[in-house]
Structure 1
Amino acid sequence: MQPKKTKTMDRRSQLPDELLLTILSFLPMTDVVGTRVLSQRWKFLWEMVPRLSYDYYKQNLSHEEFLRFVDRSLFLHDAPVIEALHFKLGGVPDSKDIRVWIRAAEELAVRELIIKIVTCRRRVELPRSLYRSCRMLVTLKLSNVVLVDDVASPVSFPSLKKLSLKSIKYPNDVFVDKLLSGCPVLQDLVVEKCPGDNVPILSVRILHLKSLALSTSEDRAKAKPHGFEAYPVGSVFHRLVHLKICTCQSEWLNLRMRVLSDSPNLRSLKLEPCHRMVNQQRPCWSEPSSVPECVLSSLKTFEWVLYEGREEEKEVVAFILRSASCLENVTVTFSSDHRRSEKFKMIKELSFLPRRSPTCRITFDGSYSFSSEGEKKTCSILPDELLLKILSLRPNAKDFVATMVLSKRWKFLWMFMPRLVYDDSYQNLEHGRFSLLVDRSLSLHKGPVIEYLHFKLGKIYGTGDIEAWIIRAAEKHCVHELIIEIDNKSSGNKAPVTLPGSLFTCFRTLTTLKLANAVLMDVNSPISFPSLKKLSLKCVKHGGEAFVKNLFSGCPVLEDLFMEQCEDDSVTILSVRVPSLKRLVLYRIETIFKIKSQGFVIDAPSLEFLDIFHTSGYCVIESSMTQVVEANIVINIWQPWKKLSSITSFKRFYLCVPFSKDVYPTGSVFCSLLRLTLCSCETQWLNLLMGVLKDCPKLRALKFNQCHSLRTSDPRPIWNPLWNEKSSVPECLLSSLETFEWVCYEGTEEEKEAVAFIIRNAKCLKKATIKISSKATESDKKLEVIKELFSSTRVSPACQLALS
């Protein structure tokens, strides 16, 4: 038996530290510290866990032993940053102890701090140091404690974005204003008032607040839960996007249907019981006569917290799934009171409910209760959902199939893996063994949904192999993301792999498709990807322009397109005409310049992001692109470039072109442009710079970056002395430019003039960063460049010069 145990320990020890720390982060600290006895490697590993949870109720220590354990483990912890520090305390914790722990939280740069007092004879006062010592806190959650005012010092939480205060005793009503005013970037606030609260009127005045939840823990019997009295009849919530409804009253179903009918643009619905139903009649479900407009046209996410599987709850979920045509994500969380068998029964029922939306995916989450003390000491204490998530971090098929030998529970767990990767180069599997692994694992897989399916193959595999795997995956599962990547370096000069035509017709639920280094079989029938939103084609050969047109027409909801053309691509002019497209990246690199006309033609009126890289071609934009926010354009040619129109909506712009005239229509003004990056690798870049700056009155950030080296045959750029005149200074330098950065600064004459011009005229400049080029290798030359930069006159008194 001993060799088998050692072999199991060796398998765990092969996991990287990052994965082990992630697993340990899900456990209470008593279990985490206990791992130090496993081996020499584990002796200090626990000291680097990024998330610490001290739960008084999840260990067998006395109150005094628990306090000593917290003190010692915090003192020995060695991680530079703690992502989360949770305290769930009982008994009678002393304020002095908490003061010591908060001081430790300050030293460990804690990002999230939660202090929850569950049962104690008196409320615990938190120390005043909390208000000024934890400056790195992003999330703070306090429950059942007393806050004490520090009159001499203000409250300071400069990084706090989420604050939760439940059943808190405040020193006075003035302190609440003081606390909230000390959170300048607060975005999410939750306040639950306690009985006998000494702050009867709570004032919330926060400029940046995005989410607010206010509630009271008064006796629920005093409330009037009549759903039809919740708000005036005839109200319509046109701007309501996110809705959360409590399911703890018998009338909640009536309220839900009414609010849904009055919220035509609702996108997110969450159902959660805030309190337990005590001696109340169960809600009764009745099928509505009509489906609310938001369910038909806009609802995308639906979440149910503490789902119990009652009849009316099943009916509600079934109604949402069969009616919501745009639904993308459904999350169901179960109560910890359910046994594992009950939970699996509910998962099975919900998984097989009919769904109207082809892109809808259901995820389940929850916790288990275990009775076996021996089971608690192993990885099996973790719920199946968590184990599957951990396995998904290393989703190679050979690894997760091998887990079936660990125990009886693991024998079938791998069959529900949501992410599958088949890499034939992994651990040098033979061709026959790899094919057998793919065939059998796909045949035995029982999960209704495969979120991610990735094939990384060599040229040795033929169209028949790939077609069999594709059809098997599509017939049994709803595949959401498919990646087929052919390794060009393998198998020498073998012919390219051709992907089967069935790929374009059998994946109706596919939302992401990525193909690389393959040949697409030409098909005469229409291509059908009704749910596809992301498409990536890297060095993929196909039938030509007609095939591309057929492909795009078969993707009615395509939003993200990446295409990298091969150097010998048969399509010289690539036309992209997709009305729904929001993000477009087009790459083509030619090592030899060709006289033959090449380029891109784009017709995408909904485009928001554009990235073009073409070393020997042009670009034509046919439609108006008023929604584009960011664009990166690199066109490196020796022929006139077609005019780029409709770009005045850009907010971020990266530009690299070998000329300064006719880059965009004369008279264009970029009123929305805030960030501009120009490539300094072309002779005409200074002329282009001065022209663009004059047309960007609200520019805030300017960056120069040398992406390519200047050709030795080209003359150096020349600084025009006329630009130094006051009348030539662009408006953005005088009124809006705040940051300036130069990458690969060499200290040439024209570069010195450009830097001096900017910092001499930019009145609002706050920071100028100069990154000196590696070409300036001599220390004397670098020192001379630095002295010249620091001696330059700066008009902005707030300007800081940083060199690297």
Structure 2
Amino acid sequence: MANSVCQEINVGSNRQRSSDEAIHIDRISRLPDVLIQHILSFLSTEEAMATSILSKRWLWVWTSVPIIDLQDTPSCRTNLNLRFRFGQFVTRVLVLNKMASLDKFCLKFNLVDHPSYVQTWFRDAVSRDVKELDITIHGTQIFPFLKLPFAIFTARKLQVLKLSQGVELHVPETVSLPCLKVLHLVWIKYTTDESVSRLFAGCHVLQELVLRKYVGDNSTVSNISIPTLKIMSIRFATGRHKHRLKINAPILEHLYLEDNLGLEFDLEDVSSLVEANVSVTWLENRHIPLLKALCNAKSVSFHWDWSAKMKRCNFGPHHLFLNLVRLELNVGYGGWNILSLFLEISTNLEVLVLAKNNNCRGLGFECRWKPPQSVPECLLSSLKMVSFKGFEGVAYQWRMVKYILKNARVLKVMEISSDGDLPLESKLGVLKKLSMFPRRSKVCQLQFN
């Protein structure tokens, strides 16, 4: 009896839920086409097409969505028949889509059996004044890299261009992208260094640039001279070959740089930097021009694993970090010897974050950190917060904390965060030892997490 009652309740609940869903779908169906098209624009094209089974009202709505977003499956990499069917699918979608102009054309697929077909797809998108073009090609170990049709480089309405992996950047003599604001070049090949320069020269309003480079991409110089650039993210993969990075971006505000390639720096103008996030494997003398170029930034985050023996940087009055208020150093073994330099040149520093890089875990080496010869100006007048992450209680870490507490005149918070595997007794011991250190600032509070 109880079971049949429960079944009736469940059946009633399911009917109510189905009724609610039907009412919800019906309400959406009564919306104007423009609103339904906007809703479908948040789905992939395949998902938008699936809505055609809901009712006659929905049958062809997807063909009026100004976004085409297509992606094949990993099975296409090894199955010739699936690749052929995906190519037919893309062609059919382009034929059925009614929009004279496209907001976005996104295509992610594995292999290029017939490059001419693919180039036809891109030319079709450009002919519809596409605003965003996002192309990712996988599986180029077997097939050659795809060269884009020249029509892309004169797309007058194109605002966002993202090229990833199996693309070879072959740029014509004439480039005119008057509306392009965002450019991503990720693990692609370049016909020549001149191709890159021609592309940048034709982007008159470019604001965001993302570069991901690897050894063997046929490029040895990255000459980035873009007067409108505001955001730049560059990553150079590990390799032995030398590469030269030239930057002239007078209004650049945000720089994210990862250097594992042995870069030589030529930074002509990055005077408007607000934020810089730099990651290197070895901190060496070749990074001195980079350090000096960051002197106007307000927030700097430096990550490095090892530090070679660097010559003493000659930072004159023009290279002091006068605007820097937040500094984060994420350091591996042997890299702490530059902390004193940063304290000396960051005269208005307010927040200092120190973090031990996980790459130096378990090496068993001791860092011979030496404090500055005289107390830096920032400790006497501006440093208000220090956060030490990954604290293990080794000798050099104690020396740093003790030195800062002893000399930081206006320090408000000293926050220590230990590694998660530190026993409770050890944590209590750390806190007790910290509380015994003399503090120059009478308002300084210790926080141990």
TM bin, normalised by shorter chain, reads: 0.7 to 0.9
In structure 2, what residue type is equivalent to 1:548? V
> Paired residue for 1:350?
none
Structure 1 pair 376/404, CA: closer, same or farther in 2 (3 Å)?
A: closer
> Paired residue for 1:469?
121
Q: Does 1:746 align with 2:398?
A: no
Structure 1 pair 639/766, CA: closer, same or farther in 2 (3 Å)?
A: closer
SS of residue matched to 1:636: strand
Q: Does 1:482 align with 2:127?
A: no
Structure 1 pair 584/409, CA: closer, same or farther in 2 (3 Å)?
A: same
Contact in 2 for aligned 1:471/1:506 (Cα 8 Å): no
Contact in 1 for aligned 2:126/2:151 (Cα 8 Å): no
List aligned pairs for 1:7-406, cutoff 5 A.
Answer: 37-38=16-17, 378-393=27-42, 395-406=43-54
- Among 312, 323, 332, which residue is 1:681 paired with? 332
Contact in 2 for aligned 1:504/1:528 (Cα 8 Å): no
Structure 1 pair 423/377, CA: closer, same or farther in 2 (3 Å)?
A: closer
> Paired residue for 1:636?
281
Deviation at 1:379, TM superposition (A): 2.4
TM-score, normalised on structure 1? 0.49
Structure 1 pair 376/691, CA: closer, same or farther in 2 (3 Å)?
A: closer
Q: Does 1:649 align with 2:296?
A: yes
Contact in 1 for aligned 2:112/2:146 (Cα 8 Å): no
Deviations 1:427-454 (A, max 9, x none): 9793233222211222222234422221
> Paired residue for 2:147?
499
CA distance in 1, matches of 2:107, 2:438: 58
CA distance in 1, matches of 2:362, 2:246: 32
Contact in 2 for aligned 1:643/1:663 (Cα 8 Å): no
CA distance in 1, matches of 2:424, 2:242: 48
Q: Does 1:621 align with 2:266?
A: yes
In structure 2, what residue type is equivalent to 1:751? Q
List aligned pairs for 1:553-572, cutoff 5 A.
Answer: 553-572=201-220
> Paired residue for 1:763?
409
Deviation at 1:738, TM superposition (A): 2.3
Contact in 2 for aligned 1:683/1:717 (Cα 8 Å): yes
Percent sequence identity over matched residues? 28
Structure 1 pair 468/738, CA: closer, same or farther in 2 (3 Å)?
A: same
Deviations 1:225-261 (A, max 9, x none): xxxxxxxxxxxxxxxxxxxxxxxxxxxxxxxxxxxxx
Deviation at 1:597, TM superposition (A): 2.8
In structure 2, what residue type is equivalent to 1:382? L
Structure 1 pair 377/454, CA: closer, same or farther in 2 (3 Å)?
A: closer
Structure 1 pair 769/502, CA: closer, same or farther in 2 (3 Å)?
A: same
TM-score, normalised on structure 2? 0.84
Structure 1 pair 573/427, CA: closer, same or farther in 2 (3 Å)?
A: closer
RMSD value over aligned CA atoms? Answer: 3.3
SS of residue matched to 1:479: coil
List aligned pairs for 1:427-466, cutoff 5 A.
Answer: 430-466=82-118
List aligned pairs for 1:698-737, cutoff 5 A.
Answer: 698-707=348-357, 709-710=359-360, 716-720=366-370, 723=372, 728-737=374-383
> Paired residue for 2:245?
600
For structure 2, list consecutive stretches of 5 or more residues without a partner in the other structure. Answer: 1-12
Contact in 2 for aligned 1:616/1:637 (Cα 8 Å): no
Deviations 1:26-79 (A, max 9, x none): xxxxxxxx9993169x89xxxxxxxxxxxxxxxxxxxxxxxxxxxxxxxxxxxx
Contact in 1 for aligned 2:137/2:167 (Cα 8 Å): no
Contact in 2 for aligned 1:617/1:635 (Cα 8 Å): no
Q: Does 1:772 align with 2:422?
A: no
Deviation at 1:515, TM superposition (A): 0.9
CA distance in 1, matches of 2:25, 2:114: 48
Deviation at 1:461, TM superposition (A): 4.4
> Paired residue for 1:666?
316
Q: Does 1:539 align with 2:187?
A: yes
For structure 1, list consecutive stretches of 5 or more residues without a partner in the other structure. Answer: 1-33, 44-373
Deviation at 1:646, TM superposition (A): 4.1
In structure 2, what residue type is equivalent to 1:409? R
SS of residue matched to 1:623: strand
In structure 2, what residue type is equivalent to 1:519? V
> Paired residue for 2:6?
none
Structure 1 pair 512/761, CA: closer, same or farther in 2 (3 Å)?
A: same
In structure 1, what residue type is equivalent to 2:378? C
Contact in 2 for aligned 1:466/1:499 (Cα 8 Å): no
SS of residue matched to 1:508: coil
SS of residue matched to 1:569: coil
Deviations 1:451-493 (A, max 9, x none): 2221111024442232111111121x221111111234xx8x4
CA distance in 2, matches of 1:752, 1:36: 67
Structure 1 pair 574/763, CA: closer, same or farther in 2 (3 Å)?
A: same
Structure 1 pair 512/736, CA: closer, same or farther in 2 (3 Å)?
A: same
Deviation at 1:562, TM superposition (A): 0.9
Deviation at 1:690, TM superposition (A): 1.5
Structure 1 pair 39/785, CA: closer, same or farther in 2 (3 Å)?
A: farther
CA distance in 1, matches of 2:377, 2:184: 41
SS of residue matched to 1:650: coil
CA distance in 2, matches of 1:484, 1:663: 44
Contact in 1 for aligned 2:333/2:365 (Cα 8 Å): no
Deviation at 1:643, TM superposition (A): 2.0
> Paired residue for 2:7?
none
CA distance in 2, matches of 1:532, 1:737: 42
Contact in 2 for aligned 1:599/1:614 (Cα 8 Å): no
CA distance in 2, matches of 1:463, 1:665: 53
Q: Does 1:416 align with 2:67?
A: no
Contact in 2 for aligned 1:670/1:695 (Cα 8 Å): yes
Q: Does 1 or 2 have the higher relative contact order (CA < 8 Å, sep 6+)?
A: 2
Q: How many residues align?
A: 427
In structure 2, what residue type is equivalent to 1:480? K
> Paired residue for 2:433?
788
SS of residue matched to 1:626: coil
SS of residue matched to 2:108: strand
CA distance in 1, matches of 2:434, 2:103: 53
CA distance in 1, matches of 2:379, 2:62: 60
In structure 1, what residue type is equivalent to 2:395? E
In structure 2, what residue type is equivalent to 1:558? L
Deviation at 1:380, TM superposition (A): 1.6
SS of residue matched to 2:379: helix
CA distance in 1, matches of 2:265, 2:99: 46
SS of residue matched to 2:269: coil
Deviation at 1:777, TM superposition (A): 5.0
Contact in 1 for aligned 2:388/2:417 (Cα 8 Å): yes
Contact in 1 for aligned 2:250/2:270 (Cα 8 Å): yes
CA distance in 2, matches of 1:599, 1:517: 22
CA distance in 1, matches of 2:14, 2:161: 42
> Paired residue for 2:170?
522
